[in-house]
Structure 1
């Protein structure tokens, strides 16, 4: 069943007013304070936690100098990490995206980075990995693992989210390139798809098109517009994604099996930005339906399931940043279903880019600004 924010009966009561004197936010299931971890960042796009306590933060507009380190004491290092590829394209939505440590980083020190690669006239989303030096200053032995097989000249819809699942598979989200929406219906290219790889960039033998018949071997699913959130449900193990709709129709999808078509642009709950109709169809046999969608659009960004202990009532809830909506959406889950929504931090009036559960159990997020910050939610007590 489709769950929408228009269905008022499904929405949780929202009470996110800040108590300015005490800096306490009272919400449906938790009271918290907002703490600033670091500031002065240029469009911070992604947070990645290292086992030694440091954080990797990417600056989308930082290009090859856009990987930063916040040390275990919360101090932003003045110098960026060196050694990143020198062909990062920075142009509106194009730039440096995720930087995620390997699950066994403590042993191999590998970091995986997604970015817009090439030139403004011909670029693509690419994935590289390298070894982070012991002093965290340099990315060494950088190698390319994957690059989209379709070049674009547009500045929109690159995807770029990375996920390591509990089985060690590596997922990468991709967009439709903005002006190439029809290509999302062709799984033989990577436009508008979700990619699944082994950690060395090779193709898992059980990928739906692993043999190259009917689609590109790396493709897990297709018919996506621009996946900006990617996470694995901590209880069910299902991979969840969410993607930007056009004007309305931002959606949350689950990925129970490979080879599925999620419909864009053949079906959508949104319309063009100028108000014209993309398609009259909202559903069609053989095309997957979202488990939740937003209408009007919130411009959803990074996402994470909450798995910490600091907020026990938030366990297994799905937290989604909102850019245009300027809030964090807490989607309450029951298995692989969304059963309600609460909007947090609306009065902060900040575009939220990434959301992550920290190893300390706090909820971290970044603000989308050329004077961006890394902040976290901590229990009010």
Structure 2
């Protein structure tokens, strides 16, 4: 029997959290005697100093088979570099299926290359929508979903979004969330970062902040107003802010500092989630963090005007605060009053998503 070859694409740090459980599930299927194998392609889209050997060790996955080294440049330059380099890669190492995850530039570009080389594409985390076309990620989602063959989804709403665009029911597989597979598997391994002891942190004595979206960090007056508002309304709590060096420079220039505000370097996965799990709350503009905080039942405030993950609001611990700094205070008041909502189970976010994905892929090999 011919081995069914899968090429798995990852381009940015969160992608690796999403593909780690898929790799484990493929390996388990191989160990059971199934005829399938994978090749892990890192496009190199994001250069991240924390993505060293220890990063792959933490996730218990091998280092990528190849790194296409497509970092830097504008959106167009990066897309072009990935198109050129991944085409060469796929021609030398053909696959039966290319699996793309999430919504980064690599997701869209590699799906496009695969289709032009007549290779089937499966999109993991398909069908989610913010309806905000100013977000590069939304364009990536729309394009990827318009040229994929199979769709692995995290919610019923994602299924509906796909059906509305004409995707056939038998192409959609509602499987859950692989990011949560990784979270649940790694939870026992969370460990305190150096900053935990350095700042003398205690559970629920601090708030974690993460801000990275251009709309929040590139508008200097907006960034300053948000941080000032958070400082003014968080009482005696420490504010731990793992911050991108570029954002740190802007804050320094704006003279944003406070004894309770601690800007630290970006943290590895196990250390960052230890901080999140023990935080009083998280203030963020990241989509993935809203999923993790929900499952860990940690209050989360999202400084965005929209979300592609509404289940984190209806069933999770997330609230959409918006981008007006003045909107932050009422949510912090609610937190300190002890009125924050509790996590209600999100269907299929149970740690078994990757197993379901591989079961479906095995059924595709018979089509």
TM-score, with structure 1 as normaliser: 0.25
Q: Higher helix fraction: Structure 1 or Structure 2?
A: 2
Q: Tell me which structure has the larger Cα radius of gyration.
A: 2
Q: Higher strand fraction: Structure 1 or Structure 2?
A: 1
TM-score, with structure 2 as normaliser: 0.26
